[in-house]
A and B are shown apart, each in its own frame.
Chain A
Amino acid sequence: MSAFVGKYAEELIKNAKYIATPGKGILAADESTGTIGKRLSSINVENIESNRQALRELLFTSPNALPYLSGVILFEETLYQKSSDGKPFVEILQENNVIPGIKVDKGTVELAGTNGETTTQGFDSLGARCAQYYKAGARFAKWRAVLKIGLTEPSELSIQQNAQGLARYAIICQENGLVPIVEPEILTDGDHDIKKCAAATEKVLAAVYKALNEQHVLLEGTLLKPNMVTPGSDSPKVTPEVIAEYTVTALRRTVPAAVPGIVFLSGGQSEEEATLNLDAMNRLDVLKPWTLSFSFGRALQASTLKTWGGKKENVAKAQETFLTRCKANSDATLGKYSGGSASGLASESLFVKGYKY
């Protein structure tokens, strides 16, 4: 058959569509224990379970923030954590119409014979794990494939491996009731111009959708999490309007209309940059048959983290900062962001060379 229509088909379509609701987006709070450790240490906070729990509680209980979110991606540990008064995080989210999601990949490994290119692991028992996560309340999943731009990169091998990997992950998720977010991230590292990024993005996305078709993935029950099309990190910057044009053109050339929504990753962009770029895309007067929204990690949390500094007395202020970013990005999904919610923190670049989760 063309697309696999299993017992979860209707639910998948409904959930994917809900996540793509205009005015809402995703908080990517799925940093692994190692990665969140780096974040915590940057604000001099110890990487222990209670601190990790405290941070996520700060985010998930931010007054008035949840209406701007349709989903939150969690790391496995967080899926089973509770608030300080004993309420499971999953329930807090569900009660506020925020769909819990779960990171299911197990990081990247290098492809021998390439120049540092990688593929993503996590297939072993993936079906069984997805079924467990579904039982725990998750309704969507995320799997990050990573590609890079260089003289001979992305190589054909890297494109094929990562596209096939994403497609296998996607169909296994759908068999088990989870909407797969398909994330083929092309890193910004490099001194290439925006045209080179556009070419690579179009090539990669075409390969991804061919692979999804081959594996019988139900596109109506998926979401795409791509990089925006930008110049390389070592190249001169361009305006949000230019980024919007190249990005939307690339998507129009490769993403079938059946996909309900596209939720961009922020890469190393500052909070404000990411919001302005998303806003410019939604203002662009061209036909877009999918909604354009956000799935931001650093670009939603950076200034919140700094404001918190690990101290209880800063929680309320940190939550306000978080709310500001949520609302700004919500406005951006509607092309209505009027800028100016950029404190100095929000404009700080979050780029880290060769970024590893």
Chain B
Amino acid sequence: MSCFKGKYHDELVANATYIGTPGKGILAADESTGTIGKRLSSINVENTENNRRALRELLFCAPGALQYLSGVILFEETLYQKTAGGKPFVDILKDGGVLPGIKVDKGTVELVGTNGETTTQGLDGLAQRCQQYYEAGARFAKWRAVLKIGPNEPTQLAINENANGLARYAVICQENGLVPIVEPEILVDGSHDIERCADVTERVLAACYKALNDHHVLLEGTLLKPNMVTPGSDAKKVSPEVVAYHTLRALQRTMPPAVPAVVFLSGGQSEEEATLNLNAMNKLNTKKPWSLSFSFGRALQQSTLKAWAGKDENVEKARAAFLARCKANSEATLGTYKGDAALGDGASESLHVKDYKY
């Protein structure tokens, strides 16, 4: 058959479509224990389970924020955590009309013989884990594949390995009721221009969709989480309109209309940059048969983290910062963002870390 039609078919299509609702997007709060540790230490907060829990409670219970979100990606630990008052996070999200998602990959490993290129692991026992996560309330999953641009990169090996991994992950998710977010992130590191990024992005996305087709993935029940098409981190910046043009063109050339939505990653962009770029894309008058939204981690949490600094007395202030970013990005999905979100401390700060590892 062309695509796999299992028992979750209708649910997958409905959930994928819902996540792409205009005006909403995804909060990527799936930082692994190690990664969230880096964030916490940057605001001098100890990396304990309670602090990790407190941060997520700050976010998920921010008044008025959930209306701008259609999904939240969680790390496994968080899927089973509760508020201080004992309510499971999963229930908080569901009550707020937000689908819980789960990171299911187990990080990257280097491909021997390449110049630091990687593939992603996590396929072993993936079906069983997905079933468990579904039982715990998750309805979508995320798997991050990583590629880089260099003189010889990405190599055909890296492209094939990562595309194949994404496709295997995607079909296993669908067999077990989870909408797979397909994330082929091409790192922004480098001094290449935007045309080079466009070229690589188009080749990578074409390989991904060929692999998804080969593996019988139901495209209507998936989402794409790509990088925006931008110049390299060491190259001259361009305007949001230029980013929008190149990004949309790359998607038009590779992404079948059957995919309901694109939820961009923010990479190392500052909060404001990411919002402005997303807004420019939604304003651009060109063919867009899928909705364009966000799946931001750092670009939604940066100023919130700084405002919180781990202190109870700052929670309200931090929540206000978080709400401001959620609202700004919601408007960006509608192309109505006016750049007037009160810029919290750090909202314009680049979040680029060279050779970023989760």
Listed in ascending order, the chain A residues whose CB lies under 8 Å from chain B are 1-3, 195, 198-199, 201-203, 206-207, 209-210, 213-214, 219, 249-250, 252-258, 287-289
Count the B residues whose beta carbon is within 8 Å of the partner chain — how many? 29
Interface residues of B in 1-28 (CB under 8 A from A): 1-3
Residue of B199, B249, B256, B287 touching A252 (CB-CB under 8 A) = B256
Would you give the shortest CB distance from B326 to chain A, in whole angstroms?
Answer: 27
With A and B bound together, what is the CA distance between A209 and B1 in angstroms? 19
Closest to A250 in B: B2
B2 touches A256 (CB 8 A): no
With A and B bound together, what is the CA distance between A283 and B256 in angstroms? 20
Which of B207, B210, B253 has its CB near the most chain A CB atoms (within 10 A)?
A: B253
- Decide yes or no whether B198 CB sits under 8 A from chain A: yes
Can you list the 7 inter-chain pairs with the closest CB atoms, starting with the nearest?
A: A206-B213, A213-B206, A202-B2, A199-B2, A258-B252, A2-B199, A2-B202
Listed in ascending order, the chain B residues whose CB lies under 8 Å from chain A are 1-3, 195, 198-199, 202-203, 206-207, 209-210, 213-214, 219-220, 249-258, 287-289
Specify which chain A residues have a CB less than 8 angstroms from the CB of B256 in the assembled complex: 252-256
A288 touches B206 (CB 8 A): no
Given A202-B2, A213-B202, A219-B253: A253 and B210 interface contact (C-beta under 8 Å): no
Would you give the shortest CB distance from B272 to chain A, in whole angstroms?
Answer: 29
Residue of B198, B209, B249 touching A258 (CB-CB under 8 A) = B249
Would you give the shortest CB distance from A303 to chain B, in whole angstroms?
Answer: 35
Would you give the shortest CB distance from B2 to chain A, in whole angstroms?
Answer: 4
Specify which chain A residues have a CB less than 8 angstroms from the CB of B288 in the assembled complex: 257
Residue of A195, A210, A250, A258 touching B210 (CB-CB under 8 A) = A210
Tell me how many residue pairs across A and B have CB atoms closer than 8 Å: 81
Specify which chain B residues have a CB less than 8 angstroms from the CB of A254 in the assembled complex: 213, 256
With A and B bound together, what is the CA distance between A202 and B213 in angstroms? 8
A252 touches B2 (CB 8 A): no
List 19 A–B pairs whose Cβ atoms lie within 8 Å, in order of A's numbering.
A2-B203, A3-B202, A195-B1, A199-B2, A206-B214, A207-B210, A213-B253, A252-B256, A252-B257, A253-B213, A254-B213, A256-B253, A257-B252, A257-B255, A257-B287, A258-B249, A258-B252, A289-B257, A289-B287
Specify which chain A residues have a CB less than 8 angstroms from the CB of B213 in the assembled complex: 202-203, 206, 253-254
A206 touches B209 (CB 8 A): yes
Specify which chain A residues have a CB less than 8 angstroms from the CB of B207 in the assembled complex: 210
Which of B1, B207, B213 has its CB near the most chain A CB atoms (within 10 A)?
A: B213
Would you give the shortest CB distance from B336 to chain A, in whole angstroms?
Answer: 22
B210 touches A202 (CB 8 A): no
B257 touches A288 (CB 8 A): yes
Given A257-B289, A258-B249: A199 and B254 interface contact (C-beta under 8 Å): no
With A and B bound together, what is the CA distance between A119 and B306 in angstroms? 63
Specify which chain B residues have a CB less than 8 angstroms from the CB of A255 in the assembled complex: 256-257
Would you give the shortest CB distance from B256 to chain A, in whole angstroms?
Answer: 5
B199 touches A253 (CB 8 A): no
Residue of A2, A201, A253 touching B250 (CB-CB under 8 A) = A2
A253 touches B198 (CB 8 A): no
Would you give the shortest CB distance from B251 to chain A, in whole angstroms?
Answer: 8
